[in-house]
Chains A and B, each alone.
Chain A
Amino acid sequence: MFDLMWLLIAIPLASGALLLIWGKESDRFGHLIGTAASAASFVLGVVLFVRLMGEDAGHRSQAVSLFTWIDTGTFHVEMSFVLDQLSGLFVLLITGVGTLIHVYSIGYMGHDERRRRFFAYLNIFVAAMLTLVLAGDYLVLFLGWEGVGLASYLLIGFWQHKPSAAAAAKKAFVVNRVGDIGMALAIMLMFAQFGTSAIAAVDAAAPGAGDSVTTALGLLLLLGACGKSAQVPLQSWLLDAMEGPTPVSALIHAATMVTAGVYLVVRSNAIFDASEVARTAVIVVGLVTLLAGAWIGCAKDDIKKALAGSTMSQIGYMMLAAGLGPAGYAFAVFHLITHGFFKANMFLGAGSVMHGMDDDVEMRHYGGLRTMMPITFATFGLGYLAIIGVPPFAGFWSKDKIIEAAFGENLWVGLGALLGAGVTAFYMTRLMILTFLSQKRWRDDVHPHESPRVMTWPLIGLAALSAVGGILLLGDWITEWLEPVVGHAEHHELAVPAIVLTIIITAVVLLGVVAAVVFYRREPIAAETPADSSVSIFARAGRHELYGNEVNETLVVRPTRHLTRFLVWLDGMGIDGFVTGLADRLGDTSQLLRKPQTGYVRSYALTMFGGVAVVVLCLLAVTLA
């Protein structure tokens, strides 16, 4: 039965290829094929997962090798896939949320004449993402890694007629290349050090490897994870990526692909466990991103960008948890799953709002939409409660556990995470007020309306999951389930009882909510974004994404441009100059050498005679020497 796991990948891949190859005739039903493929993959995933639960704990890691991919010299790579407790959860998340988003897209992309192509790309994304999580070899993982990067590029730039979308796609691609270099180097280093890139073999070899090796490996993998998961310092592409269609933002840039970095760290737990430095780096990256993302989320008036900032911030939580080692891996995955539910829910909700508002993304043009879009409001509201961590919704359980573990690690890390929770509550409440509450601010020619059922049903499904996702923690199920993969966690004794900490966290969250309510209830909200000069320096920094683009521009782009100019100059003057100069000199030499060819036989004879003399002398010189 587990031999069929390749079908998980093959079905959406085949469907994607089919949709790309099949001509216009399939425009009418192409989206249905794409959705069916994703659903089939989900059904198979559920069956396999149930089978996996049926096995004893010792047999829950099922490996399948399809064929030998590379076999040169001592480098041997199998096209192998592993379905275990970790990848099983991911398969369910990817195919489940993916299928809901496919369904939603039928409505959302209904008027787009390239809808078939959109579904093909979505299918390819699902196939690549499944390859990534099922891979049994880092090189196969890299294949999926690049595959999702490609799908992301194609989908961000799906509306390529917009220059901003094309530019955003390129930006995402380029920034991801930086991370991919880390990934590629890590795989090369594995091969150089361990002679293999198979995940199981690397896991076995990592504890015995030197500290410098595991640290280097950990930092390189972290670089890769930063690129894919939009963590500082490679965060700049994610906000621009919101140029893509909203279902893409929900699936790729919120629920699944951007969490691949977290998956990578958790999957490589053997390496990170062996290196204190790498783990600390992960914590720092996670904490910084968590706060930076929250800050940006507070300042953006574009609903998708505010949510994107929030995504950054939530992935920061996951990274932070993953950096805590065995104490945090399970909670990182747990938060990843609940976040997949509620963030996809809210992105789709934002898409539903935009759908009713003529694709306007400016929250200041919204206001009072709760009566116009009751289902969207209700589902979005559940997502909101989940993300800010109100008990008993999903986010409460997962975030609470991460903050608790963070306090177990270090007081300052814990305080940072706690601050993040408060800020999250603030910006999410602000988003809710600007969009659904407060007074109406839209123009008269806009007619907000509820979305069609094909879009609201996925919202309802995801909202339900956002509400009850916390049950995974029931009886510590998820920690015990993942323990064989990520290792056993030593329980940290906290200075205060866990229940007290939970109350403190909830209080901080409430504080954030109250602050937002007070701030945005006090005066009428402007229908246009206030000028930069009239807002505080914090808001200004947040609006400019903490000047990340400017930093990149100064530190990377401009020096590179200068280097390029220098190289072009060098190429023109030095290399071309050398080459053409060489050709010119050869031409000159040629002209010079043809001079003796006078046509006079007497000078020819003289040349010959000179040649004879030289040859004779040379030969005699050999003996004299």
Chain B
Amino acid sequence: MITTFISAELPPIDAPTIEYSLLGPLFIVTGVAVLGVLVEAFWPRASRFVVQAVLAVVGIVAALADTVWVYTDLDRIDAPLQARGQVAGEGALTVDGPGVFTWGILLVFGLMSMLLFAERRLEGGLSAFTGRAADAPGSSAEAQAVQLRVEHTEVFPLALFALVGMMLFATSNDLLTMFVALEVLSLPLYLLCALARRRRLLSQEAALKYFLLGAFSSVFFLYGIALAYGYSGSFELSAIDTAVTNRTGGENMLLASIALMAVGLLFKIGAAPFHTWTPDVYQGAPTPVTAFMAAGTKAAAFLALLRVFYVGFGGSQWDWRPTIVAIAIITMFLGAVVSISQTDVKRMLAYSSIAHAGFLLVGFVGVYAGVAGSDRITSVSSVLFYLAVYGLSSIGAFAVVTLVRDSGGETTHLSKWAGLGRTSPLLAGSFAIFMLSFAGIPLTGGFIGKWGVFSAAYAGGFWWLVVIGVMISALAAYFYVRVIVLMFFTDPVGDGPTVAVPSVLTTVVIVVAVVGTVGLGIIPGPVLDLAQHAGAFVR
């Protein structure tokens, strides 16, 4: 009787349909992260680090395998407009070609970063993270923590949460999910940034800056979401698209919404003038975290940017393209020019990352969706390929940075790198390859990546932007080559750094990055095809 009463009073509740098979990678990573929290609570301290590291690596590998399975599975789901995949999770997520491709590269970056996180040989058996973050820097408590060899093993679950946030960010179908994903990816990163073992004050300052400015940008993003809802009456990108296409009125509200959401996303990718956090945070954060951020955040945020602007605001592209073009030029120029005067290798790489955000924006504003029968690379595919190459080279470069050390930890001042090519030719050679890739020299992946985004921009009608882009590439080549000259054609300084011998973990990361960077330059075909095969976004 009670049940009939209830059913009479309340409307029936449909159980939400969740496509578990399609969303598998997300569940795996989330599950492992939660498991990591439990391990943190119950596993004995002595062996916890190893267990956490193994758990994270195994979880990511499993998710990667599942991602491959999901990607091949997408082929059976046809969507209109050359897209493959479907909206899932009750409209919260879109599992489509570009999204799953991004999952794949995010998981690869995550895996490589976890290997760097787990490296313990460089600090004499301890990780690159501080033993007890609560201790004041330089205090006796800190020294005690070192003596006791305590470690923050939470870094692994934190990184996994950030990873799942990135994956969600890349595949959100509605703006609220996207905002949540943004926070899920950001909050663990803020924490991770503060955990450096050496130069802790710098690290904590970086984390605080990142947090404050990140919160600041989130506010704009959220305000933009609110305005979008006000304009279209929905959080779903497809509904917003319909409203934009039909021009339901309230143009200014739409444009303000576009502007504010753009700000939130451009902050994450580090585009000017929202880049100011990048150098400070990249420099202060523990180098493995910097590698993870540089590769992962950029990829996830770019996918979100593409999705919001192509799917949600695609009908209004003639409004936002000029502004984005201007931002792309400013970003490329600023990144390339300011890196010339940098003396710290991590800050230089940070400015390099800003410049690359500019190059990626060039591909983005092309808004070239391809035409039937043409092999020309589309904007989406070009950005995907670029992100893959850039991420690989970036992680490799930061991995090299972790190895060049003196008594105070990593030696990041460029002058100390003089003559490194004489003392450790292999390491310097690897770094040189990453630099050449960043500069876009042929036979490296960076060249194919740059060619892709420029080609897409050209097809989109921005030939003059391509000219500017190429000129700025030439400019940027200056400081990349300068590092090579410094390493190989300059005499070593007297008290030069020593190159630490890493464990197999870091070695594997550097080797994979070198092989990937060169391989994508010489035989880009397979990955390029894969990126091209990813197709368009599902609406």
Query: Which residues of A are at the interface with B, using a C-beta cutoff of 8 A?
Result: 583, 586-587, 589-591, 593-594, 596-597, 599, 601, 604-605, 607-608, 610-612, 614-616, 618-620, 622-623
Residues of B within 8 A of A591 (CB): 341
Query: A615 to B263, Cβ gap below 8 A?
Result: yes
Query: A619 to B319, Cβ gap below 8 A?
Result: yes
Extra pairs beyond A590-B339, A619-B258, A622-B323 (9, CB < 8 Å): A586-B478, A590-B340, A594-B341, A605-B212, A608-B274, A614-B273, A615-B259, A622-B318, A622-B319
- Closest approach, in angstroms, between the C-beta of B74 and any C-beta of chain A? 35
B273, closest chain A residue (CB): A611
Secondary structure class of chain A's binding surface, majority of residues: helix
In the complex, per-residue mask of B192-210: 1 if CB is within 8 Å of any chain A CB, else 0: 0000000000000000110
B479, closest chain A residue (CB): A590
Listed by A's residue number, 6 A-B pairs whose Cβ atoms lie within 8 Å are A594-B342, A604-B213, A608-B267, A608-B276, A619-B259, A623-B319
Known A-B contacts A610-B273, A615-B323; the reply to A605 vs B216 at CB < 8 A is yes
- Closest approach, in angstroms, between the C-beta of A621 and any C-beta of chain B? 9
Q: Which of A587, A605, A619 contacts B323 (CB 8 A)?
A: A619
B500 within 8 A of A: no
State the CA gap A610–B263 with chains docked (Å).
Answer: 11
B337, closest chain A residue (CB): A590
Query: A619 to B320, Cβ gap below 8 A?
Result: yes
Query: B322 to A622, Cβ gap below 8 A?
Result: yes
Query: B255 to A612, Cβ gap below 8 A?
Result: no
Q: Which of A601, A610, A623 contacts B252 (CB 8 A)?
A: A623
Residues of B within 8 A of A608 (CB): 213, 216-217, 263, 267, 273-274, 276
Query: A615 to B262, Cβ gap below 8 A?
Result: yes
Query: B326 to A618, Cβ gap below 8 A?
Result: yes
Residues of B within 8 A of A594 (CB): 338, 341-342
State the CA gap A608–B323 with chains docked (Å).
Answer: 16
- Closest approach, in angstroms, between the C-beta of B398 and any C-beta of chain A? 20
In the complex, per-residue mask of B273-297: 1 if CB is within 8 Å of any chain A CB, else 0: 1101101100000000000000000
Secondary structure class of chain B's binding surface, majority of residues: helix
Query: B341 to A611, Cβ gap below 8 A?
Result: no
State the CA gap A382–B429 with chains docked (Å).
Answer: 75
B334, closest chain A residue (CB): A593
A615, closest chain B residue (CB): B259
B271, closest chain A residue (CB): A611
Query: B326 to A611, Cβ gap below 8 A?
Result: no
State the CA gap A619–B257 with chains docked (Å).
Answer: 10
Query: A612 to B276, Cβ gap below 8 A?
Result: no
- Closest approach, in angstroms, between the C-beta of B108 and any C-beta of chain A? 31
Query: B276 to A622, Cβ gap below 8 A?
Result: no
State the CA gap A604–B334 with chains docked (Å).
Answer: 15
State the CA gap A611–B262 with chains docked (Å).
Answer: 11
- Closest approach, in angstroms, between the C-beta of B283 and any C-beta of chain A? 10
Query: A589 to B220, Cβ gap below 8 A?
Result: no
Interface of chain B residues 343 through 379 with chain A (CB within 8 A): none
State the CA gap A436–B220 with chains docked (Å).
Answer: 109
Interface size on B, residues (CB 8 A): 40
Known A-B contacts A586-B337, A594-B341, A605-B213; the reply to A620 vs B220 at CB < 8 A is no
Residues of B within 8 A of A604 (CB): 209, 213, 276-277
Residues of B within 8 A of A586 (CB): 337, 340, 475, 478
State the CA gap A604–B280 with chains docked (Å).
Answer: 11
B467 within 8 A of A: no
Query: Which residues of B are at the interface with A, using a C-beta cutoff of 8 A?
Result: 208-209, 212-213, 216-217, 220, 251-252, 255-256, 258-260, 262-263, 267, 272-274, 276-277, 279-280, 318-320, 322-323, 326-327, 334, 337-342, 475, 478
Query: B323 to A601, Cβ gap below 8 A?
Result: no
Residues of B within 8 A of A607 (CB): 273, 276
Known A-B contacts A608-B276, A622-B319; the reply to A587 vs B260 at CB < 8 A is no
Query: A587 to B341, Cβ gap below 8 A?
Result: yes
Q: Which of A587, A593, A620 contacts B255 (CB 8 A)?
A: A620
State the CA gap A620–B217 with chains docked (Å).
Answer: 20
By Cβ-Cβ distance, the 4 closest A-B pairs, closest first, are A611-B273, A590-B341, A604-B276, A616-B259
Residues of B within 8 A of A614 (CB): 273
- Closest approach, in angstroms, between the C-beta of A537 and any C-beta of chain B? 63
Residues of A within 8 A of B273 (CB): 607-608, 610-611, 614
Residues of B within 8 A of A622 (CB): 255, 318-319, 322-323
Which one of A587, A591, A615, A616 has the highest number of Cβ atoms from chain B below 10 Å of its Cβ?
A615
State the CA gap A605–B220 with chains docked (Å).
Answer: 12
- Closest approach, in angstroms, between the C-beta of A625 and any C-beta of chain B? 10
- Closest approach, in angstroms, between the C-beta of B275 and any C-beta of chain A? 9
Query: B326 to A612, Cβ gap below 8 A?
Result: no
Residues of B within 8 A of A619 (CB): 255-256, 258-259, 319-320, 323
State the CA gap A501–B258 with chains docked (Å).
Answer: 103
- Closest approach, in angstroms, between the C-beta of A604 and any C-beta of chain B? 4
State the CA gap A586–B217 with chains docked (Å).
Answer: 31
State the CA gap A610–B272 with chains docked (Å).
Answer: 11
- Closest approach, in angstroms, between the C-beta of B260 and any C-beta of chain A? 7
- Closest approach, in angstroms, between the C-beta of A42 and any C-beta of chain B? 53
Which one of B256, B258, B267, B341 has the highest number of Cβ atoms from chain A below 10 Å of its Cβ?
B341
Query: A611 to B334, Cβ gap below 8 A?
Result: no
B217, closest chain A residue (CB): A608
Residues of B within 8 A of A583 (CB): 478
- Closest approach, in angstroms, between the C-beta of A162 and any C-beta of chain B? 41
- Closest approach, in angstroms, between the C-beta of B372 and any C-beta of chain A? 31
Residues of B within 8 A of A623 (CB): 251-252, 255, 319
Known A-B contacts A591-B341, A608-B217; the reply to A616 vs B256 at CB < 8 A is yes
